[in-house]
Structure 1
Amino acid sequence: MTEHTLTVAGVAVDTRHWIGGRRVASAETFTDVSPIDGSVIGEISRGTALEAAAAVAAAKAAFPAWAATSRAERARILHAVADGVEKRIEELSIVETTDNGALLRSHRRGVMPRVAHNFRFFADWLLKLEHEDFETRGHTNHVSWDPAGPSVLITPWNAPLMLATWKVAPALAAGNTVVLKPAEWSPLTASLLADIAAEAGLPAGVFNVVQGYGSEIGDALTSHPDVRRISFTGSVPTARRIAESAAGNLTPLSLELGGKSPLLVFADADLDVAVDLAVEQYDNAGQVCLAATRFLVEESVAEEFTRRFVEKAATLTQGDPRHETTDIGPNIHPRQLEKIDAFVQRALAAGARAVVGGHRKDIQYYAPTLLTDVAQDSEIVQEEVFGPVLTLQTFSTEEEAVRLANDTRFGLAATLATADAERAERVTAQLVAGTVWVNCFFVRDLQAPFGGSRHSGVGREGGTWSFDFYCDVKNTVTAPNGWKNHG
């Protein structure tokens, strides 16, 4: 072990940046803390504008060769990265659980296998990416996807590696080079990914990782004239700053900015299904951008729905996320927990009633909470809390349900519980959302478009939509009979 290596649950993690195929240390560090118990994990290299510029320069230098690499070879290397992830699922799982507090069993069974799948899916999609040629007055149109260039990817802390590779995999598949800036509250698995990518044969400079505070290195990355694409997942205020920074170079952006999504429960719904869907919104301690945090329940079944929800929520176990029986772990950071509690206390002071929870359990854990008696224009209904805090309102007509569902500045997702197929079709057609689930939740396919409306984001990624973003899409028009016969 060296001074730049941490041992996290028996796993060695390098704390330095990964730039141009080598480890680079910074003069200063920042402290990484585990949300499980508040213990210090270690000191991480704290990037500056110098490291940001070096990473972009490395990505720019590596771009021509990687862009010229055949689709088949790029796909082969991405599959090798997936192989490396699968070999280290246990290590990646325990490190990420230590770093961000999400359930270890979820990492083992779902999240880290999905990380590998991200690479495999986009590798395979690359090989079949095509648009059928078409004719215009006898001329042939041919659509192609050209690599755009160095891409800056800025990722959140709630599912660090899965959400990072959701961007990294298509960007690399497209032939772009990448600078990944992971969230400072959960940087460790990005460092491990750099090791895995290098072992898989990804050429130096194609994938770079720069750690640190967005306020210190973000502008250096997003305003850089050599950056050709920026993809960000996070808050609306940060997205505004990124957009302003990128505007000078007209750098294309993909922004996924969270939401305040509704769960609509109609009287004809299977209430057992509806309650299961509702309790599922506590997943990852409520730190899920897609979570349906606003329950809109038809008046005639609201009392029964609430009773069943309270009973079901009482069966959840909150505690150490490394334990197999734990259902809800800690929130990511004391600052986030303070923010959550401030939302709840302001709501209670304004007249809301806590049917479940309504308080912090200790410095790391917030009690699962359900608030009723909330006004549509109240802060707790309109603003994203990003914690285990849900609200419940009632409606009397389908029209009212749709109006309440759409009455926020967000539009990321919506969930609908009903036994009436015609109603489901009518309502989903009217909902402002990038994704709508009917009698289910969190069913995601990588070939589907993903993104939000309104303040929930700009653009769509997934399947061909990812390549449309990470590439310069070109149309070549060829005249008929324009060739000389060279015999």
Structure 2
Amino acid sequence: MLGGEINSTDDCMPSSGIGQGDGSCAIGTAGWADQPVQRRLMVMRLLREHIASQSSQLAAACSPHAGRTRRESLVAEVLPLADACQFLQSHARRILRPQRFGRRSGPLWLGALSGRIERRPWGRVLVVGPSNYPLLLPGVQVVQALVAGNEVIVKPGRGGGPAMIALASLLAKSGLPPDIFTVLPEAVSSVDDALQAGVNKVVLTGSLAAGKA
């Protein structure tokens, strides 16, 4: 989920980001995508600090709709989201950096050719969240996509709007540039509107039937 993967030989490395399959540049993410990974991870570090300092408020934002107490939401959603930010701080640079392969490490049929695997942002990512874990599940997908340099739009599950709005507020306080993260209304029609406006990747938590719908 962190980023799109490009397999190429050294002589034919594409110069543009991944678009919608037509070679076009990723839409709406040029400024954020051009930031070094370290800069994006700085936002995650500050976000983790804000999650810790405002954990009670975050738990309160998702508890009534998920059918859990604040304490249960703190353990089931808030703390794991902070842990996801810590994971990115520790591992995102390694995951996202280019990987070279040559004669010894590449497939036998490539012979003496060498190449590189380079991860680039998808562009605009739509996250369709569930209602049972309104903060954790879409939140983890959001921070992963942001660290990879994507613009993110999230459609909360039923009752999940307050949790996502709270996350958006903390991201803004952490230094995320405006218009990189957008929270849509909870209505299902918001997904149709976003798809018509144009997205490069959809992340859905739900059943096959929900995905087809």
Shift in Å at residue 97 of structure 1? 1.1
- Residue from 142, 147, 159 that aligns with 2:116: 142
- Residue from 44, 56, 62 that aligns with 1:78: 44
Shift in Å at residue 110 of structure 1? 4.0
The equivalent of 1:20 in structure 2 is none
Q: Conserved in 1, the CA contact under 8 Å of 2:65 and 2:131?
A: no
SS at match of 1:139: coil
- Residue from 176, 183, 193 that aligns with 1:202: 176
Shift in Å at residue 132 of structure 1? 4.5
- Residue from 228, 234, 237 that aligns with 2:209: 237
SS at match of 2:160: coil
Within a 5 Å distance, the mapping from 1:267-346 to structure 2 comes to none
Deviations 1:335-381 (A, max 9, x none): xxxxxxxxxxxxxxxxxxxxxxxxxxxxxxxxxxxxxxxxxxxxxxx
SS at match of 2:119: strand
Q: Aligned pair 1:154/2:120, yes or no?
A: no
Structure with more strand by fraction: 1
The residue type equivalent to 1:205 in the other structure is D
The residue type equivalent to 1:171 in the other structure is A
Q: Conserved in 2, the CA contact under 8 Å of 1:155 and 1:183?
A: yes
Q: Conserved in 2, the CA contact under 8 Å of 1:81 and 1:200?
A: yes
Shift in Å at residue 98 of structure 1? 2.2
SS at match of 1:116: helix
Deviations 1:75-126 (A, max 9, x none): 1111211111111111111221123222322222342111111222124322
Deviations 1:105-159 (A, max 9, x none): 2222342111111222124322112434323544321111011100000000101
The equivalent of 2:106 in structure 1 is none
Q: Conserved in 2, the CA contact under 8 Å of 1:123 and 1:173?
A: no
The equivalent of 2:82 in structure 1 is 116
Q: Conserved in 2, the CA contact under 8 Å of 1:151 and 1:227?
A: yes
2: distance between equivalents of 1:147 and 1:79? 20
Q: Conserved in 2, the CA contact under 8 Å of 1:99 and 1:188?
A: no
Within a 5 Å distance, the mapping from 1:456-467 to structure 2 comes to none
Shift in Å at residue 173 of structure 1? 1.2
Q: Which 4+ stretches in 1 moved above 4 angstroms?
A: none
Shift in Å at residue 60 of structure 1? 4.0
2: distance between equivalents of 1:154 and 1:109? 23
The equivalent of 1:167 in structure 2 is 141
**Whose radius of gyration is greater, 1 or 2?**
1
Q: Kindly, what percent of the aligned residue pairs are identical?
A: 21
The equivalent of 1:322 in structure 2 is none
Runs of 5+ consecutive residues of structure 1 not aligned to the other structure: 1-58, 242-487
1: distance between equivalents of 2:159 and 2:76? 22
Q: Conserved in 2, the CA contact under 8 Å of 1:94 and 1:104?
A: yes
2: distance between equivalents of 1:164 and 1:144? 26
The equivalent of 2:4 in structure 1 is none
CA RMSD of aligned residues (A): 1.9
Q: Conserved in 2, the CA contact under 8 Å of 1:182 and 1:211?
A: yes
Q: Conserved in 2, the CA contact under 8 Å of 1:177 and 1:207?
A: yes
Q: Aligned pair 1:192/2:166, yes or no?
A: yes
Q: Conserved in 1, the CA contact under 8 Å of 2:61 and 2:166?
A: no
Provide closer, same or farther for how the CA distance between residues 150 and 91 of structure 1 changes in structure 2, counting only shifts above 3 A. same
The residue type equivalent to 2:207 in the other structure is S
TM (normalized to structure 2)? 0.78
SS at match of 2:135: helix
2: distance between equivalents of 1:85 and 1:201? 14
Within a 5 Å distance, the mapping from 1:22-171 to structure 2 comes to 60-61=27-28, 63-129=29-95, 130=97, 131-135=99-103, 136-171=110-145
Within a 5 Å distance, the mapping from 1:319-398 to structure 2 comes to none
Runs of 5+ consecutive residues of structure 2 not aligned to the other structure: 1-25, 104-109
Shift in Å at residue 197 of structure 1? 0.3
SS at match of 1:148: coil
The residue type equivalent to 1:94 in the other structure is A
Provide closer, same or farther for how the CA distance between residues 139 and 236 of structure 1 changes in structure 2, counting only shifts above 3 A. closer
TM (normalized to structure 1)? 0.35
